[in-house]
Structure 1
Amino acid sequence: MAETVTPFNTTPSSGHPLASLEPLLREWLPRQRWFAGKGRPVTGITPVAVTELLPPDGRIGLYHLLVRVHQPPALGAPAHPGDCYQLLIGVREALPPRLAPALIGHVTEGPLAGRTVYEALYDPRPADVLLEALRTQARIGGLRFDRDPGQEIRDGLVARVMTAEQSNSSIVYGDTFILKLLRRVVPGVNPDLEIPLALAREGCARVPAPTGWLHAELDDDSYVLAVLQPFVSGASDGWELALRELAKGEDFVAEARSLGRATAEVHTALARALPTVTLGQAQLGLLVDGMTERLEAAVQAVPALRPYEPGLRSAFRALADLAEEGRTWTAQRVHGDLHLGQCLRSPSGAWSLIDFEGEPARPLAERRMPQPVLRDVAGMLRSFDYAAHSASPPAPEWAHRCRSAFCAGYAEVAGRDPRTDPVLLRAYETDKAVYEVVYEARHRPDWLGVPLSAVRRLATSDPTLARETSP
């Protein structure tokens, strides 16, 4: 592997091979599913680091890029230096038909003039370069490829890109490994590597142990860029599995109960592996303030929420009242964005939890903060609700049975049923539902009725709420 590295936060000269890519990237980036700045124009792209992994003088060239994308801030948002994205850019004279979906564009000037550039993850040869670098623990410019010495990485595994992801990208090698490349990256310790490593040290089999990882050391900043983990061959995605069972009219109670046990096992292991803290009145006050502020912003953005605002606000007020009475809660590291799509069931029936990155839109420091485990529980309960309302006709009783089974399974391992803490659980469910309303109003208006049905339930204190939250 060759290397040329553009220094941190500098712009390539006109003779640099990447100098002529900016117009192509401005057009291509906003069309990618993982691009977070949709709806705002790209006003500039600044290289953070450019590393040559394969020289472009051969049949295939390969560049690793970290670029900062500049856009006007969203309405009402403060000025922002721009998001940093990880790109793998392939260079060929011409693309074979199988790589047509990966096309970025044709370069018309500069050292790459006459060449075609494309998304390299779709090409097995560049994908092989990444796996070989992890296997040999390569050091290329500021890139550091590391691995667990206790796990073997074989060569010769056939690479294929996964096309279903949204916020990141993944390559599967044979049926052995999956390499997840983080797209929008920030400096610091990323929980998508930190938590699985901690759980591996605890011997928790519910989360695949990292085999290798890629990070960049640039000036005084460290970026986690990719994580290689064992691939759960033949596994079913929890969301797709739930929808299939719903479509067949089958019950999901046993699976939900098993998933509750798996979630509790992960929480228990995390409480052993990483520090826990006690949340008192001051900390709970900040939590409630954040929930209330998000509700107020949501009501402004989605007028359909206005009739329910007093009832939703009461869910947060009830939590603040308990804190003022001296109630405390234990907080620990959690998944942070748990739903059915973050769970895999192996052919043996065992559940695994994946994707510990948290909500990418939230600051990294916030995603790494200890939180009550009920945040994860609330996310899963909302996911059952979503699945049930995706059916035709909707199946609210299916969701209720799954919610109850999940909580019962959780209690079998944790020793405490989440429904015995109804005030905190209701507050987290309410906060999640409010977030969902804003998301659906902006991106999928046809789905707005799903979170609004939960909002109607959560905004009341009638027997429906009591039934949903009691053991």
Structure 2
Amino acid sequence: MSEAVTRSAHSVSTSPGLLASLDPLLREWLPRQRWFAGKGRPVTGFSLVAATELLPWNAKLGFLHLLVRAHQPLVPTQGAAAHPSDCYQLLIGVRETLPPRLAPALIGHPEEGPLAGRTVYEALHDPRPADVLLEALRARARVGELRFERDMRQEIRDDLVPRMVTAEQSNSSIVYGDTFILKLLRRVLPGTNPDLELPLALSREGCPRVPAPAGWMLADLAGDTYVLGVLQPFVQGATDGWDLVLRGLAKGEDFSGEARALGRATAEVHTALARALPTVTLGRGQMELLADGMIERLEAAVQAVPALRPYAPGLRSSFEALGELAAEGQTWTAQRIHGDLHLGQCLRSPAGDWSLIDFEGEPSKPLAERRMPQPAARDVAGMLRSFDYAAHSHPSVVPGWADACRAAYCSGYAEVSGRDPRTDPVLLRAYETDKAIYEVVYEARHRPDWLPVPMAAVRRLALSEGP
């Protein structure tokens, strides 16, 4: 990073016309991005949190890093996922004209302000801005409010060719030469982000199931630190668990051996997290609050999706049973967990090794909630739901396939942890029920054609005594 770039950072941050120059373009472009969390609500305005010039905007190729707050009306029925003003990380390229290869990245042509007459675009599609980010991480640069850090034990070469990963949803990623992958968080919050915190903790424990961070990108603003991105080793040739399962289902292949191995990998991660970070005991008060929260989510879901109403009493019974156990004096151990574990968060290498990725947790939840210790059964329930989801989403349902995978996963988990999750059926059923209810609401809002998948689980869980 050049000295000239560092000196110019402040002038961009204080340029009064910068945001006005981009405002009308961002109102059109931002809601179309898959990682934009405020879909369905109009953007009423923007405020600039920070702006940093990584390459001078008035040069042949400019590169601006922006943290922008998007203001939207709050719709109460959307619940905790809705926020009146989310802060987004934007990486803006600036050119006179775009070459044809960058046409899909176009944001627009500002008509006023300092960028008038130029072309702005999503910079991550462009190799040079992507190179700048890796250079900054290699050099542990500080540019304006941005701070780039790295693990000096890992070599970051300067000849790695970048490419943007197109199959993204809540964030964006760049792969560098099949050696590293840089995950850039799009909706950012102040505070410790578990997507960096937990992989660093697991690295210190020597856990091989999670790629150890090689670098990370931060912003220091008004006494708060924002985690903006994490660079990790890229598992070359790996397949995510969801794709692997669907391929196997299409061929009628048994997956129970892989499910058992994945259960062992999950338990290895949980065991390492319990060593690395504090655990707590949850007694009557905490568990009754947990069960009450599940009941509240059920009641809200029934209002949002009337198809749940006939099953509500049976679903509620699973949460009440958990509260009753707590009232009788049973306690549970809570620890740091993944928080949003499913097949899509698991990678299988060509050698057959499983890794867990994306420790961000549920993006709609506050960071403080995502960082709270929780029973490991929550992650297990997420994986059990994922096997069930895969089985019911495939055109040709294989009888008994999901049950075999679920049983193998729990057996594999027990081989490492020493405790089979099925020996605590009330807790496991409560978490799986809570997850299925969440899935029903999500599919009803976003993918109505998929609603029968979680509804099948709802019918089973409403009638069963265990998972």
Structure 2-normalised TM-score? 0.96
Deviations, residues 191-221 of structure 1 (Å, cap 9, x unaligned): 0000000000000000000000000001111
On the 8 A contact 2:73/2:84 being kept in 1, the answer is no
Instruction: Report the CA distance shift for 1:458/1:85 in structure 2 as closer, same or farther (over 3 A).
Output: same
Provide the rounded CA distance (Å) in 1 between the counterparts of 2:213 and 2:11: 30
Question: What is the Cα deviation at residue 7 of structure 1?
Answer: 9.6
- 3-state SS in 1 of match to 2:339: coil
Instruction: Report the CA distance shift for 1:269/1:7 in structure 2 as closer, same or farther (over 3 A).
Output: farther
Deviations, residues 211-249 of structure 1 (Å, cap 9, x unaligned): 000000011111000000000001011100000000011
What's 1:410 paired with? 413
User: Any residues of structure 2 matched to 1:48-447 within 5 Å, and which?
Assistant: 48-76=49-77, 80-447=83-450
Deviations, residues 326-354 of structure 1 (Å, cap 9, x unaligned): 00000000000000000000111000000
Provide the rounded CA distance (Å) in 2 between the counterparts of 1:19 and 1:317: 53
On the 8 A contact 1:43/1:72 being kept in 2, the answer is yes
User: In the alignment, is residue 26 of structure 1 matched against residue 49 of structure 2?
Assistant: no
Deviations, residues 171-200 of structure 1 (Å, cap 9, x unaligned): 000010000000000000000000000000
Provide the rounded CA distance (Å) in 2 between the counterparts of 1:254 and 1:359: 28
Provide the rounded CA distance (Å) in 2 between the counterparts of 1:403 and 1:419: 10
- One-letter amino acid matched to 2:438: Y
On the 8 A contact 1:441/1:448 being kept in 2, the answer is yes
On the 8 A contact 1:206/1:265 being kept in 2, the answer is yes
Deviations, residues 8-40 of structure 1 (Å, cap 9, x unaligned): 9x98523xx443001100110000000000000
Provide the rounded CA distance (Å) in 2 between the counterparts of 1:38 and 1:6: 32
- 3-state SS in 2 of match to 1:45: strand
Provide the rounded CA distance (Å) in 1 between the counterparts of 2:399 and 2:372: 33
Provide the rounded CA distance (Å) in 1 between the counterparts of 2:245 and 2:254: 9
Provide the rounded CA distance (Å) in 1 between the counterparts of 2:269 and 2:334: 14
Question: What is the Cα deviation at residue 58 of structure 1?
Answer: 2.1
On the 8 A contact 1:5/1:49 being kept in 2, the answer is no
- 3-state SS in 1 of match to 2:400: helix
- One-letter amino acid matched to 1:224: V
Structure 1-normalised TM-score? 0.96
Deviations, residues 33-82 of structure 1 (Å, cap 9, x unaligned): 00000000000010100000000232210000000000000234599550
Provide the rounded CA distance (Å) in 1 between the counterparts of 2:438 and 2:399: 21
Provide the rounded CA distance (Å) in 2 between the counterparts of 1:396 and 1:281: 40
Provide the rounded CA distance (Å) in 2 between the counterparts of 1:223 and 1:408: 39
- Cα RMSD (Å) of the superposition? 1.5
On the 8 A contact 1:236/1:344 being kept in 2, the answer is yes
Identity of aligned residues (%): 76
Provide the rounded CA distance (Å) in 1 between the counterparts of 2:9 and 2:370: 31
**Runs of 5+ consecutive residues of structure 2 not aligned to the other structure:** none
Provide the rounded CA distance (Å) in 2 between the counterparts of 1:445 and 1:12: 45
Question: What is the Cα deviation at residue 126 of structure 1?
Answer: 0.2
What's 1:35 paired with? 36
Provide the rounded CA distance (Å) in 2 between the counterparts of 1:325 and 1:366: 26
Provide the rounded CA distance (Å) in 2 between the counterparts of 1:13 and 1:64: 16
- 3-state SS in 2 of match to 1:58: coil
- 3-state SS in 1 of match to 2:69: strand
On the 8 A contact 2:19/2:48 being kept in 1, the answer is no
Provide the rounded CA distance (Å) in 1 between the counterparts of 2:187 and 2:154: 28
On the 8 A contact 1:34/1:166 being kept in 2, the answer is yes
- One-letter amino acid matched to 2:37: A
- 3-state SS in 1 of match to 2:463: coil
On the 8 A contact 2:280/2:335 being kept in 1, the answer is yes
Deviations, residues 438-461 of structure 1 (Å, cap 9, x unaligned): 000000000000000000010013
On the 8 A contact 1:408/1:417 being kept in 2, the answer is yes
Question: What is the Cα deviation at residue 390 of structure 1?
Answer: 1.5
- One-letter amino acid matched to 1:214: M
On the 8 A contact 2:268/2:417 being kept in 1, the answer is yes
**Runs of 5+ consecutive residues of structure 1 not aligned to the other structure:** none
- One-letter amino acid matched to 1:387: A
What's 2:458 paired with? 455
Provide the rounded CA distance (Å) in 2 between the counterparts of 1:397 and 1:37: 39
On the 8 A contact 1:336/1:356 being kept in 2, the answer is yes
Provide the rounded CA distance (Å) in 2 between the counterparts of 1:232 and 1:117: 33
Provide the rounded CA distance (Å) in 2 between the counterparts of 1:83 and 1:130: 24
- One-letter amino acid matched to 1:406: Y
- 3-state SS in 2 of match to 1:203: coil
- One-letter amino acid matched to 2:33: Q
Provide the rounded CA distance (Å) in 1 between the counterparts of 2:342 and 2:100: 37
Provide the rounded CA distance (Å) in 2 between the counterparts of 1:74 and 1:181: 28
Question: What is the Cα deviation at residue 98 of structure 1?
Answer: 1.1
Provide the rounded CA distance (Å) in 2 between the counterparts of 1:224 and 1:6: 20
- One-letter amino acid matched to 2:235: V
- One-letter amino acid matched to 1:445: P
On the 8 A contact 1:207/1:352 being kept in 2, the answer is yes
Question: What is the Cα deviation at residue 110 of structure 1?
Answer: 2.0
